[in-house]
Amino acid sequence: MLHERIAAHAHRVPDAPAVTCDGRTLTYGDLDARAERLAAGLRTRVHDEDAVIAVLMDRSTDLIVTLLGVLKAGCAYLALNTADPDRRLAELVADAGARLAVAAPEHAGRLPDTVETLTLATAPSRTGPANVSSAAARADRAAAAQARAADDLAYVCYTSGSTGAPKGVGVTHRGVLRLVVSQDWLRLTPEDTVLQVSAVSFDASTLEIFGALCAGCRLVVHPGGGPVDLDALAATVTGHRVTVVNLATGLLHQLIESRLSFFAGLRHVVTGGDVASPALVARLLDAWPGLTFTNGYGPTENTTFTTCWTTSGPPPDAVPIGTAVTGTGVAVLDDAMRPVTAGGTGEIYTWGGGLARGYLGRPAATAERFLPCPFGPPGSRMYRTGDLARLLPDGNLEFAGRTDRQVKVHGYRVEPGAVEAALARQSGVDRAVVVVEQDDAGRKRLVGHAVPSGTADEGLGARLRASLAAELPGYAVPDTILVHTTLPVTAHGKVDRSALTSAGPRPRAVANAYVPPATPLQRRLTELWSALLDTAPVGIDDDFFDLGGHSLLAAELLDVMHKELGVEIPATALYLRSTVAELSEAVGETLAGREIRS
Ligand code: ADP
């Protein structure tokens, strides 16, 4: 069990540093004792097997204590993203059947009444001070340890479902242990300092947190919850002499492009989640020849990584996803379910210790993807990934796309069908289609197309975007929603998605005459937009999203405005007031001390 491995370090080296965040360090002894105190309180409240406890906190030492406390209590955690809208949080806790939550005080009021929400300060404790371990607590601990087995759930992680409802993947202790223990590609020692920067609602955090704590390393938590500020991240990494990082592919690319010095003190750089750029990886390895680099591939359903490719050698021409990690089976099968030969392309199937239990409460969806496995022992299952790979002559795999419409947008798994369903549900919408567009640098963005049920007015697209932002996680909200009187169809009468994707310049961007800025604030905003969106000139009636802005750029814009102008504009307000003129008006209202209209 995961927590037992961590408790073993607490027993052997109680004074070794375990978690550092915001200038505070918990030793293994502190971490274990604090988590045990929380666990003792949780055990008095939870009696069902496989109980799921929601956790709503930004990255912090408290977060790590809480995750460990939930595991020690014999429960599974559902780590929620604090940046998600409240409606999404409510949907996830209801789907997971969570009746208890542990939240940071600033987020405690955000969950529905059906969930009893504790904060660490209010969570009942049965063990007294941290260093006192009562007989009752020891008995509790032994009982909980006995009752738990490696196939029990450790956490539930949500991914987007194709029809609109998110699916909770139930990941086991065994799955996580197989990811972080005895892997020859991940040789962590207690001398290592590992960064925790991934959102905890995303399974990349599994590798960071349990990789570090099961190996007795120090985990350095980069504090916060929203988008990551690269300067602050660089300060965390250099300030704490981090040696190992696991960066989502998009973040890795950004850091290589903007500050190669970030990697100076690192020993091992791990990435995963999306297709890695060979040119950028080559730039990284050219600059830091001693570095070990790993490209990990895998769906959440097989606990973070399924295959890995590791190099310390010269820069590669391509970045393969490698071969199966220890404890995992992988086959690339053709349509007739026969293994492909070298050079061939097929779909990736995987089995072994990393396999999740399935989708929580969805036996049909589970049966559709978790199939009987002809390669393992009788009765075993394998997961059909929907990913395509080419088998290279040297036995490594190269990622070759998807068999369905699933895409990665800003590193997150998105089913355009799910976003379409959400858009079609909005009032005033008759039909909806969501397509994925890619810019020259390969960055993907979602564009919604809606046909209104009545007559459309000028602001409908922006209003729809704002109402989706109140319901969906930020990465799933289309950057632009265009309103049409009808949708193009193919000869077979289906919606012609390719015609929508290649629709050319945005109608509004073309229709807007250039109106120059009239005030210093408008001038500064047009300059900022020009720089961020790489377009000029920007007029005051131009729309941020129509000019190619998307949620990440929106976050960047709001961040710069905060730093430069001292105003905090909520993202939903930018969705509704997305021209320079409207936004400068919003800034004026905020500066005048008024509540911003959004
Ligand atoms: P992850 O934590 O790996 O991003 P998700 O379940 O969110 O897990 O997404 C899994 C999907 O991401 C895979 O099925 C695949 O389509 C894509 N993916 C993951 N890693 C890679 C990689 N290294 N190269 C290309 N695609 C990847």
pLDDT of 508 higher than 70: no
Residue nearest to atom 26 of ligand 1 (CA): 274
* pLDDT tens track for 440-497: 777 788 999 999 888 777 788 889 999 999 999 999 999 889 988 888 877 777 788 8
Dist. CA 377 → ligand 1 center (Å): 27
Indicate the pLDDT class of residue 123, thresholds 50, 70 and 90: low
Residues 43 and 175 in one domain: yes
Atom of ligand 1 nearest to the CA of 305: 3
Q: Is 419 in the pocket of ligand 1 (CB under 6 A)?
A: no
Dist. CA 406 → ligand 1 center (Å): 11
pLDDT of 241 higher than 50: yes
* Per-residue pLDDT at 561: 86
**Based on the structure, what is the number of domains in the chain?**
3
Dist. CA 244 → ligand 1 center (Å): 20
Atom of ligand 1 nearest to the CA of 411: 4
* pLDDT tens track for 175-206: 999 999 989 999 999 999 999 999 999 999 99
Residues 492 and 525 in one domain: no
pLDDT of 170 higher than 50: yes
Dist. CA 585 → ligand 1 center (Å): 41
Residues 560 and 438 in one domain: no
Under 8 Å between Cβ of 222 and 233: yes
Residue type at position 389: A
**Which of 166, 182, 198 represents a domain boundary (last residue)?**
182
Assess if residue 399 is contained within a domain.
no
Dist. CA 295 → ligand 1 center (Å): 11
84-87's contacts with Cβ under 8 Å and 24+ in sequence apart are: 84/201, 84/473, 84/474, 85/469, 85/470, 85/471, 85/472, 85/473, 86/110, 86/111, 87/470, 87/471
pLDDT of 544 higher than 80: yes
Mean pLDDT of 369-386: 94
Structural domain span for residue 166 = 1-13+25-182
Q: Smallest Cα–Cα separation from 199: which of 302, 82, 87, 343?
A: 82
Mean pLDDT of 412-441: 88
Indicate the pLDDT class of residue 551, thresholds 50, 70 and 90: low
Indicate the pLDDT class of residue 130, thresholds 50, 70 and 90: very low
Q: Is 299 in the pocket of ligand 1 (CB under 6 A)?
A: yes
Helix (H) or strand (E) holding 175: helix 173-180
Question: Lowest mean pLDDT: which of 14-28, 142-156, 340-354?
Answer: 142-156
Mean pLDDT of 106-119: 95
Q: Smallest Cα–Cα separation from 525: which of 585, 571, 595, 445?
A: 585
pLDDT of 255 higher than 70: yes
Residue nearest to atom 11 of ligand 1 (CA): 299
Assess if residue 205 is contained within a domain.
no
Assess if residue 453 is contained within a domain.
yes
pLDDT of 124 higher than 60: no
Atom of ligand 1 nearest to the CA of 402: 16
Cα–Cα distance list, 469 to 417, 547, 562 (Å): 17, 19, 21
Dist. CA 272 → ligand 1 center (Å): 7
pLDDT of 356 higher than 90: yes
Measured distance CA(324)–CA(298) in Å, rounded: 10
* pLDDT tens track for 172-181: 999 999 999 9
* Per-residue pLDDT at 461: 87
Q: Who wins on pLDDT, 497 or 282?
A: 282
Q: Three-state DSSP class for 34?
A: helix
Indicate the pLDDT class of residue 502, thresholds 50, 70 and 90: low
Compute the mean pLDDT over every residue in the chain, rounded to the nearest whole number.
88
Residue nearest to atom 5 of ligand 1 (CA): 299
Q: Is 298 in the pocket of ligand 1 (CB under 6 A)?
A: yes
Residues 568 and 443 in one domain: no
Assess if residue 333 is contained within a domain.
no
Measured distance CA(184)–CA(357) in Å, rounded: 25
Residues 38 and 163 in one domain: yes
* Per-residue pLDDT at 207: 97
Assess if residue 3 is contained within a domain.
yes
* Per-residue pLDDT at 513: 66
- Strand (E) positions, 90-175? 100-103, 116-118, 153-159, 167-172
* pLDDT tens track for 96-105: 999 999 999 9
Assess if residue 265 is contained within a domain.
no
Q: How many CB atoms lie within 10 A of CB 541?
A: 15
Residues 122 and 155 in one domain: yes
Q: Is 254 in the pocket of ligand 1 (CB under 6 A)?
A: no
Cα–Cα distance list, 543 to 533, 550, 588 (Å): 11, 11, 18
Assess if residue 357 is contained within a domain.
no
**Which of 135, 154, 182 represents a domain boundary (last residue)?**
182
Residues 81 and 118 in one domain: yes
Ligand 1: residue of 387, 404, 410 to mutate (most ligand atoms within 8 A of CB) is 387
Residues 31 and 116 in one domain: yes
CATH number (domain holding residue 555): 1.10.1200.10
Residues 424 and 472 in one domain: yes
Mean pLDDT of 389-407: 94
Highest mean pLDDT range out of 380-384, 466-470, 540-544? 380-384
Indicate the pLDDT class of residue 410, thresholds 50, 70 and 90: confident
Residues 34 and 109 in one domain: yes
Question: Rounded to 5, what percent of the chain is helix, strand, coil?
Answer: 35, 25, 40
* Per-residue pLDDT at 578: 83
* Per-residue pLDDT at 97: 96
Dist. CA 300 → ligand 1 center (Å): 8
CATH number (domain holding residue 484): 3.30.300.30
Residues 538 and 492 in one domain: no
**Which of 137, 161, 182 represents a domain boundary (last residue)?**
182
pTM of the shown model:
0.81
* Per-residue pLDDT at 128: 40
* pLDDT tens track for 570-579: 776 787 788 8
Residues 474 and 582 in one domain: no
* Per-residue pLDDT at 491: 77
* Per-residue pLDDT at 171: 97
- Strand (E) positions, 112-192? 116-118, 153-159, 167-172
Highest mean pLDDT range out of 25-29, 48-52, 406-410? 25-29
Indicate the pLDDT class of residue 501, thresholds 50, 70 and 90: confident
Mean pLDDT of 355-384: 95
pLDDT of 506 higher than 60: no
CATH number (domain holding residue 177): 3.40.50.980
Assess if residue 305 is contained within a domain.
no
Q: Is 271 in the pocket of ligand 1 (CB under 6 A)?
A: no
* Per-residue pLDDT at 504: 45
